[in-house]
A and B are shown apart, each in its own frame.
Chain A
Amino acid sequence: MYLFVIRAFTRRSAPFGTMAFPMKLSDKLAILADAAKYDASCSSSGGKGRNSLRSGGIGSTEGMGICHAYAPDGRCISLLKILLTNFCVYDCVYCVNRRSSNVQRARFTPEEVVELTMEFYRRNYIEGLFLSSGIIQSPDYTMEQLVRVARTLRTEHKFGGYIHLKTIPDASPELIDAAGRWADRLSINVEMPTAEGLKSLAPEKDLGDIRSAMGRLRLSIDEAKAEKKAPKFAPAGQSTQMIVGADAATDRDVLAASTNLYTNYHLRRVYYSAFSPIPDASKILPLKPPPLVREHRLYQADWLMRFYGFRADEIAPPGDSGMLSLEVDPKRAWALRHRESFPVDVNRAPRDMLLRVPGLGVKTVDRMIAMRAHQRIRYADLIRLRVPVKKVAPFVETVDHRPRGDHESAALQRDLREPAQPDLFG
């Protein structure tokens, strides 16, 4: 009897999460933040501005998100990113919280999440809350709990900060409507770039269900935007995440999937998450992660598609391995494949062509265009504009500069080595 009591008290919780004694809040936070960190999104931007001047409450969003801290993984900490619970009835192979994993389990009450959010927010640690959850009992039950947290924050605490809710595709449309009413952003993860990848790694998820839920979200978001008097619906739009390197999909597959998602559902962002080793990994998974630079290249490519007018098939042209070069960034790689389009005359070229010059960003290009209405751009101006001259010079022409011909071009071609065969599965 005595022994039993001692054991019960020294073990804060039973190993499988069946909690004989209530877990400390800090222990729950450690487990449920750890379980949430594989979701790359932490953005708190987008949407209409909102502040507390009239409500007298706490919280604001002003369009541009704020990163309140950075972790040593280089990632921004903007939101309190946690799961309501990491218990889950699904068995997605890549996920640390899959039902067959032996990780320690925990569960917050909605009230605990509300309290943590408010207390962190008051101290200016965070921009708001990003709440996700394992699926417990049923998709509707889980979604209802998430909605309850958001509703309590908004109505009982007059919380004006950012709320991002993970949306469960199978939840009923009424619950998703309610989520959109209180949240700034909703997201549904497509998880894998291809339908086959999803089927093999996330057997309970269905690409059709995910797309159909995203379609409904887009209609609701568009509708709320079109009519001023319509009730608010996720004013910061929807986003998604794809895991890279856990299946055999190529970068071309990934970018094709992103293009489809941006076009079909007007997503604000597609996040790419290089599959990262997790505690207690499934046997089916590669144990070794893909190189982090692969994820970086995909973000660069995504950026080129969204802001620089590139199409996916220009970045990952049909015919080759379908993988982006790990050594050369995708913009430079395109330029090297299209030497015939260069050099670009910075004094004459249209904006969309200037944007294709490696090393020239949107801001610099716009400054050049404003400037050249009044005076001709010279080589020294490039330096004053702080462009990376070494990188840019071979691709541009100024009043007093023309890149030398073959010699330099040959050196550049050497730079574009064959992309190293990515080492996917160790």
Chain B
Amino acid sequence: MLGVRLDDASDAEAWRAKARALLLAEVDPSQVEWLAGPDGGLFGSDDAMPEPRHAQAPAVPRDFLSLVNSVLAHSDPRRHATLYRMLWRLTHGERNLLAIATDDDVAWAHTCVKQVNRDMHKMKAFVRFRELPVDDGTVYVAWFEPDHDIVTRVAPFFVRRFTGMRWSLLTPSRSAHWDGTTLSFGPGAKRGDAPSGDALEDLWRTYYASIFNPARLKVDAMRREMPVKYWKNLPEARLIPELVRDALPRMQAMVEKQPTVPRKKVTPLQKAAVDAPEGSLAALRKQAKDCRHCDLWKPATQTVFGSGPADARIVVIGEQPGDQEDLAGRPFIGPAGKLFDRALEEAGVDRAALYVTNAVKHFKFEPRGKRRLHKRANAEEQAACRPWLAAEIDRIRPEAIICLGAMAAQAVFGASFRLMAQRGQWLDLPDGRRAMATVHPSYLLRLTDEKAREEGYADFVRDLRLLRNFL
């Protein structure tokens, strides 16, 4: 039997150094006795380590090293030996050991990690600092009793969080101190070394009692997450018995109490009326907000009405809004809208002078996970939306209309219109207006062949140039 001594039972560096030496010397785990901390004093020092039989230790999975770090903080006295046995198995034919969650050693290690992590998490949660006035200011001091040796591991969290304070964490086995610039560790302390109270705790208890809802008592759920063992160091916990006792009567009183009539009249908020004279474009926009002519409004965010000057000389009609337009409530702002803007600029047309709208005013989509797949509005939905488009044109009285894509073109020229055959030509509408159709920018975005896309874009810009005559 080989005695291996560790001064600090949870020091990962020290354990790794010894384990490495043992591994190099091919010492079988059953031949090692690990002695840690004060208990190791029986032997005083290590037995002589046998001569190494290898020059280099075999590589160990990274996962194992982080496992070692956590497990060593655990209070289980078998941890040094079990970890060495795992190291041995990993380097003696069981490289995939850690993937076998049901292996006794692996399961044990997972349990240790879980318990250490929980202990650290609860320490971050349940430490309660108390103010301690000192000569040159204030130190915040907390007394806490963790189950495992976690102070050195959890202290950096408190540094990151309470950088601008001076504080001390006192536990029975170790203490940690932050003076605003340096973190240091010291020996264990006693409860009496920390202040016995803090002036703010009454206010904290007031909050605790008030945020509790007596109508939904779930004491077991509370105990599961805030086990009773922590209560003695939590200033709010002393309220719990009373809150639990009074919960039911308080709830019954609420239920039995007759509804009251308001004692005082508070004037309801008057929403500022939007200035929208009847028959104006603004009034139309307001009406369209609550359109229920078809079901497209149901899953959508909002009606995407046209935007631009009410006296624009040109109205641009697209097909229907997409994801981005639906969210922003404005037409042509998504990828197709950006391409449209670029083409307008190349064509020398100022978008601000145009009134831009769509044939259908709601986004139609199919949810697919977190994405919304664009769907084409059907004939019924297109027809339901047509009165809005007609009314927009009627209010604006443009000289020219340009349709982007087949849906818009057919809304203006009728179902027999053939986009690819008749694009880029001014046609006269029955009301004397001139109108033209071209492709929709999203069509260009869908073209996968680069050459076709370049040509299509050039044609698109050429069509848009025709607008300049009207500006």
Contact = CB atoms under 8 A, between A and B. Distances in A.
Nearest to A257: B299
B101 A370 contact: yes
B182 to A, nearest CB: 13
Is the contact region of chain A dominated by helix, strand, or loop, or is it mixed? loop
B430 interface: no
Contact of B251 (A38, A77, A277): A277
B349 interface: no
Contacts of B259: 280-283
Contact of B102 (A75, A138, A276, A384): A384
Given A60-B160, A214-B301, A36 B225 contact: no
A119 B200 contact: yes
B126 interface: yes
Contacts of B236: 69
Most buried by A among B100, B163, B222, B243: B163
B327 to A, nearest CB: 4
Size range of the chain B interface in the assembly: 35 or more
Given A60-B160, A70-B226, A100-B262, A122 B140 contact: yes
B78 interface: no
Contacts of A15: 263
A123 B204 contact: yes
Contacts, number: 241
Contact of A34 (B126, B210, B260, B367): B210
B241 to A, nearest CB: 9
B210 A29 contact: yes
A402 interface: no
Interface of B: 96, 99-102, 107, 121, 124-131, 140, 142, 157, 159-165, 198, 200, 202-204, 206-222, 225-226, 234, 236, 240, 243-244, 247, 251, 254-255, 257, 259-260, 262-264, 266-269, 271, 289-290, 299, 301-302, 324, 326-329, 367, 369-372
Given A89-B268, A211-B302, A371-B102, 15 more contacts: A31-B210, A37-B212, A66-B121, A69-B208, A72-B218, A81-B211, A120-B207, A123-B130, A123-B140, A123-B204, A212-B301, A277-B251, A289-B215, A380-B102, A384-B102
Interface of A: 15-16, 25-26, 29-31, 33-34, 36-38, 51-53, 55-60, 62, 66-77, 80-81, 87-91, 99-102, 116, 119-120, 122-125, 135, 138, 158, 160, 170, 204, 208, 211-212, 214-216, 218-219, 259-260, 262-266, 274, 276-283, 287-289, 292, 367-368, 370-371, 373-375, 380-381, 384-385
Please list the 6 inter-chain residue pairs (A to B) with the smallest Cβ-Cβ separation, ordered nearest first: A74-B221, A74-B218, A215-B327, A51-B160, A52-B163, A33-B210
15 contacts: A15-B263, A53-B159, A72-B240, A73-B214, A73-B218, A73-B222, A89-B268, A100-B266, A123-B130, A208-B289, A215-B302, A263-B370, A287-B255, A289-B215, A373-B99
